[in-house]
Structure 1
Amino acid sequence: MPVSTAARATGEPVDAARYRPALTLLASLFFMWGFITVINNTLLPHLRSVFDLSYTQTTLIESVWFIAYFFASIPAAKLIERIGYQRSMVTGLVIMAVGALLMVPAARIPSYGVTLVALFIVASGITLLQVAANPYVAVVGPPETASSRLNLVQAFNSLGTTLAPLFGGYLILGRSTSGTAGAHAAALTPAQRLADAQSVQLPYIIVAVVLVVLAIVIARFNLPAMGSATQRAAKADRRGQSLWAHRNLVFGVPAIFIYLIAEIGVSNLFINFVSQPQIGNLTHEQASHYLFLLWGGMMVGRFIGSFAMRNVAAEHVLAVAAVGACAVMLIAAFATGPVAMWALISVGLFHSIMFPTIFTLGIRGLGPLTEEGSGLLIMAIAGGSLVVVQGWLADSYGLQTSFLLTAACEVYTLFYALWGARPTHALPDRAAR
């Protein structure tokens, strides 16, 4: 995999001042891919009305998004190895811009199939950024504070996810008939469906322009080379070593996979859930404002988690978060009214530290294998594609009941924190070359 030992830092001391501009730049990338990913949360209920989709068909849109992580991770890794870190970031942003612009003809037709293709292209560009950025951040500093550091940068990802519902709520839901209608509104006419479909053109044109500008900035940025820390570990260093000997990685890959089912299921079905008469009785546009609070909780939680992990073991913080998340999801599944709505909103606070913490625990002690381990963990983000299972549960047993799947996912996260994250056959994190 790519950014090699972005995961194998050498024994040389890290000049924090030297890498601070690079981390700031990476924070902007984390912000943008978080922002674009969560626009989907306002896009999905919108498309459900435009194309008259079932919950299964609606969540299939997000499944296609996360399937891109599975198919694009290895090509992304090879591309980074071939053209380098900085050019790969620029390429990823350009790919994302192309996908965003493809949403314009998808809206004009309108076409469910073209929409799926456009979102797959955007997600492929994000995958290219993810494969490089996560392990890079994890090694710019001492291994013992890697979870704290990645949580801090991921907080800027959460800033993007926090602002996206306001952007999507205003420019997509707020400008469409389906978004401003109440739960008991009449079915849309063909003319209204066409007008609603075309309301997504402006926001995606804006996104495409921002991505191109950011790509130009990064292309001209004097990104510091990390020397051997960005080169693929020599085969001799990896000979005789097996990824499967490391329990924290073996159980970490499914932990990422399962956690993504939980996070994406909550965010994708949130607007439909709180709009129900027995829960919040809101319009989709109004519900998007509460989605802002869900993602805002993730941002706040990551700042808190980053601070807490400076003094408390990362796996202990993860265990507390898993217990809290399971508890509030059970409340959301069985309660009604504001209690159920606020329980679902609060899960963002507990989910906040899960991905970056599982990621850093998963690559702990991998030494020269960190690169390959990082690639497997990024591929596991494809777990978000199984949100379609929750869509099927919602169609078959009810939307509220489907959140029991989320609660079950939290149980596995707790198992990983208490036992699965314990490293076996740990190798030096900073093996000298």
Structure 2
Amino acid sequence: MKEQKNFLVPMAFLGLMFFTCGFALGINSLLVPVLKVSLSVSSMEAYMLIGATFLPFLLFGYPAGILISKIGYKRTMAISFGMFAVAFGAFIFSASEKSFPLFLIASFICGTANTFLQAAINPYVTILGPTESAAKRISMMGMINKLAWPVSPLFIALFAGASGSVGIDDLGKPFAVIICLFIILGVVALLSPLPEVKAAGEDSDNSDEDDQEVSAYANSKNSIFQFPHLVLGAIAIFFYVGSETIVLGTLIDYANELGLDHPENYSWITPICISIGYITGIILIPKYLSQTRALQICSFVALVGTSLVVVLPGTYSIYCIGVMALGCSLMWPAFWPLALMDLGKFTKKGSSILTMGLIGGAAITVLFGLLKDVTNTRYAYGLCFICFGYISLYAFKGYKLR
């Protein structure tokens, strides 16, 4: 049985890292409208920035798991922050050259850093304490992560001057500050008092009967792909990350399209709604609400929210995106414990497979941009209905398969 420890300090460090992930992704949502104006690119081309950020999850998700197995969680986290610093240096160079291809390369480097960081921090939070309360811990981290999304465009806006309009020439100074912060975070991650943790059944010497049962099940498998609930969970994450990236990353662009004043202010709609869901999960899970039931309820809410966004006029539908965000809130916290359950010695490889599912943030958002160009933003949100439909199937059936 896992030894009970005080995880307050490790959770504080992890919270800082989750904030970093959200902040970096928030930068991309800001770059979409900025580059559309400054470099005269189409919507699909602009959303390729978000796609380039998520492509590394497919390419480096599995190698990230191998790296974690060899050097541990802490060193992997430190390396990822170094990559973030390089990425934002590339952003500064891209802005000075006013080159869209260079922005894509910088976004790819940023996504690579995010891949290694996500592969380390998500399973770490999952196995840091009891499995049944993993969704509660991830909800805490997720709330910090999502609140960081709107902070980044507001931070950049501070350097925009009296006009309040962010242009490509305004990116240099704030990005230089961000580089310094990432270097500091890399050192902090390396020196932080994060304990080494292992999942149930991952330690062959563990004498706990439940852990031995998990080990026996996992040892009967020869490949990570012999766990159907894991593979289906990775596909669910694919659809979830794609739809959530649309929900969180397109509000500013949508507000601009509707001609609303101060569109950056609307970026707070989804983080507030998603935080309400996170707070609900923190309070109710696991005492009053199981992780499974939370996923089932949230998938239904997300489907309802998507329908409202597509059906209602734009000035009303932009607020209904908050309902979609509320539905997204407890999906991510539930996926990890449900999909990693019973993996034993395959846990680290399993986490890398789940991390690869984040490629949905590239595929789904690029498809969203294409649909937006041929229809409009409101109808393009209908793509999320397919995503949430699959997630609903996983919530009721897929996670049970063994």
- Scaled by the length of structure 2, the TM-score of the pair is 0.90
Question: Following the alignment from structure 2 to structure 1, what is the Cα–Cα distance between the partners of residues 203 and 33?
Answer: 45
Counterpart in 2 of 1:211? 182
Return the offset for 1:323.
1.4
Return the offset for 1:98.
1.0
- Whether contact under 8 Å (1:169, 1:289) holds in the other structure is no
Once the two structures are superposed, residues 364-412 of structure 1 have per-residue CA deviations (whole angstroms, 9 ceiling, x without a partner) of 2222222222111111001111110111111112222111101221111
Gaps of 5+ in 1: 1-10, 180-195, 425-433
Q: Which moved more, 1:61-70 or 1:196-205?
A: 196-205
Aligned residues: 388
The letter for the 1-side match of 2:90 is: L
Is 1:79 aligned to 2:58, yes or no?
Answer: no
Counterpart in 2 of 1:293? 269
Counterpart in 1 of 2:300? 323
Question: Following the alignment from structure 1 to structure 2, what is the Cα–Cα distance between the partners of residues 132 and 57?
Answer: 31
- Whether contact under 8 Å (2:201, 2:344) holds in the other structure is no
Is 1:399 aligned to 2:377, yes or no?
Answer: yes
Is 1:49 aligned to 2:49, yes or no?
Answer: no
Q: Which moved more, 1:129-138 or 1:298-307?
A: 298-307
The letter for the 2-side match of 1:121 is: I
Question: Following the alignment from structure 2 to structure 1, what is the Cα–Cα distance between the partners of residues 329 and 114?
Answer: 19
- Whether contact under 8 Å (1:166, 1:288) holds in the other structure is yes
Question: Following the alignment from structure 1 to structure 2, what is the Cα–Cα distance between the partners of residues 122 and 172?
Answer: 23
Q: SS where residue 194 of structure 2 aligns?
A: coil
Question: Following the alignment from structure 2 to structure 1, what is the Cα–Cα distance between the partners of residues 131 and 161?
Answer: 44
- Whether contact under 8 Å (2:62, 2:353) holds in the other structure is no
Return the offset for 1:312.
1.3
Once the two structures are superposed, residues 27-61 of structure 1 have per-residue CA deviations (whole angstroms, 9 ceiling, x without a partner) of 11001111111121111111111111111101111
Question: Following the alignment from structure 1 to structure 2, what is the Cα–Cα distance between the partners of residues 244 and 76?
Answer: 17
Return the offset for 1:161.
2.2
Question: Following the alignment from structure 2 to structure 1, what is the Cα–Cα distance between the partners of residues 193 and 378?
Answer: 50
Counterpart in 1 of 2:207? none
Question: Following the alignment from structure 1 to structure 2, what is the Cα–Cα distance between the partners of residues 376 and 268?
Answer: 24
Is 1:200 aligned to 2:171, yes or no?
Answer: yes
- Whether contact under 8 Å (1:65, 1:123) holds in the other structure is yes
Question: Following the alignment from structure 1 to structure 2, what is the Cα–Cα distance between the partners of residues 31 and 86?
Answer: 17
Return the offset for 1:244.
4.1
Question: Following the alignment from structure 1 to structure 2, what is the Cα–Cα distance between the partners of residues 169 and 345?
Answer: 23
Once the two structures are superposed, residues 304-339 of structure 1 have per-residue CA deviations (whole angstroms, 9 ceiling, x without a partner) of 122222221212111211111111211111211432
Matches within 5 A, 1:335-414: 335-386=312-363, 387-414=365-392
Q: Which moved more, 1:353-362 or 1:73-82?
A: 73-82
Counterpart in 1 of 2:3? 13
Question: Following the alignment from structure 1 to structure 2, what is the Cα–Cα distance between the partners of residues 246 and 229?
Answer: 16
- Whether contact under 8 Å (2:135, 2:337) holds in the other structure is yes
Question: Following the alignment from structure 1 to structure 2, what is the Cα–Cα distance between the partners of residues 420 and 172?
Answer: 48
- Scaled by the length of structure 1, the TM-score of the pair is 0.83
Counterpart in 1 of 2:239? 258
Question: Following the alignment from structure 1 to structure 2, what is the Cα–Cα distance between the partners of residues 370 and 220?
Answer: 25
- Whether contact under 8 Å (1:162, 1:299) holds in the other structure is no
Once the two structures are superposed, residues 174-211 of structure 1 have per-residue CA deviations (whole angstroms, 9 ceiling, x without a partner) of 8675x5xxxxxxxxxxxxxxxx3221112211211111
Counterpart in 1 of 2:99? 111
Return the offset for 1:232.
7.2
Return the offset for 1:77.
2.3
Question: Following the alignment from structure 1 to structure 2, what is the Cα–Cα distance between the partners of residues 340 and 14?
Answer: 46
Return the offset for 1:272.
2.1
The letter for the 2-side match of 1:153 is: M
Once the two structures are superposed, residues 273-303 of structure 1 have per-residue CA deviations (whole angstroms, 9 ceiling, x without a partner) of 22234xxx314xx111111221222223212
- Whether contact under 8 Å (2:157, 2:164) holds in the other structure is no
Q: Which moved more, 1:67-76 or 1:243-252?
A: 243-252
Question: Following the alignment from structure 1 to structure 2, what is the Cα–Cα distance between the partners of residues 162 and 297?
Answer: 13
Question: Following the alignment from structure 1 to structure 2, what is the Cα–Cα distance between the partners of residues 175 and 132?
Answer: 41
Q: SS where residue 400 of structure 1 aligns?
A: helix
Counterpart in 2 of 1:314? 291
Q: 1:231 to 1:69 in 2, by over 3 A?
A: farther
Counterpart in 1 of 2:393? 415
Question: Following the alignment from structure 1 to structure 2, what is the Cα–Cα distance between the partners of residues 97 and 380?
Answer: 24
- Whether contact under 8 Å (2:82, 2:182) holds in the other structure is yes
Q: 1:370 to 1:157 in 2, by over 3 A?
A: same
The letter for the 1-side match of 2:33 is: P
Question: Following the alignment from structure 2 to structure 1, what is the Cα–Cα distance between the partners of residues 176 and 155?
Answer: 13
* Aligned sequence identity (%): 24
Counterpart in 1 of 2:211? none
Q: SS where residue 142 of structure 2 aligns?
A: helix
Q: 1:84 to 1:372 in 2, by over 3 A?
A: closer
Q: Aligned match of 1:90 in 75, 78, 85?
A: 78
Q: Aligned match of 2:134 in 146, 156, 164?
A: 146
- RMSD, matched Cα: 2.3
- Whether contact under 8 Å (2:306, 2:381) holds in the other structure is yes
Question: Following the alignment from structure 2 to structure 1, what is the Cα–Cα distance between the partners of residues 269 and 154?
Answer: 10
Once the two structures are superposed, residues 243-286 of structure 1 have per-residue CA deviations (whole angstroms, 9 ceiling, x without a partner) of 44433223211100011121112233222222234xxx314xx1
Counterpart in 2 of 1:187? none
